[in-house]
Amino acid sequence: MSDNSLRLVWVYPDLLSTYGDQGNALVVERRARQRGLDVQRVDVRSDQPIPTSGDIYLIGGGEDRPQRLAAERLLRDGGLERAVSNGAIVFSVCAGYQILGKEFVNDQGQRQEGLGLLDVVTVRGEGERCVGDVLADIDPRLGLPQLTGFENHQGVTHLGPTAKPFARVSMGRGNGTGDGTEGAYNDTVFGTYMHGPVMARNPQIADLLLKLALDVNALPAIDDRWYEALRAERIATATQPA
């Protein structure tokens, strides 16, 4: 990318955009424009090829059947893997997170191949569905404040040796494995179960992606009072006694 432009790709909004996850694309786009970047946003439907020249790719959550269809089409297309090889940043939520792993269980109860961009495997949980507010402390290496979000998933995601936990929950169930981990990431690919939209609640995540895409250590400051008020309200609501 050039110093003042950004190509933002929203992957399969017709299949993967539950719980307002498209809001993540809006937040990244707005925060980039507030820093003076020229943003080209590309919404790629499931009947279109994935462009390989994007800087940031966003993938949302979806129901079980659309998730299966999305995984099949992404595997056939191969564009997202090529984009990652070119240095692109990918951020995924819930069903999108599972698709980026090595394997997940589809709507037919069968093990389905994922893209293998994250060293994780997802199985179907036998207990209660993971539903509710999430508070999580992000990996200290990423340098962000406490995260807030909302989870709603049946999957249990196990991390392999090359995947790092995106965060650790103090409220909620995260990956559902009982070890407190939430999401996973490697150098350029991120996955989480947090909806919200998670970047509206935690705009610092959007800034993290922008810094990685721009290869800079800091971004110009912008007015975050609205976001901080929303974040404080969500944390207060999650922690107040029932």
User: Which residues are designated catalytic?
Assistant: 94, 195
Structure tokens belonging to residue 95: 């069903």
Q: Spell out the residues 6+ positions from residue 33 whose beta carbon is closer than 8 angstroms to its own.
A: 39
Structure tokens belonging to residue 39: 């943003």
Residue whose structure tokens are 């498209």: 22
Which amino acid does the sequence have at 180?
A: G
Find out whether 69 and 36 touch, Cβ atoms under 8 Å.
Answer: no
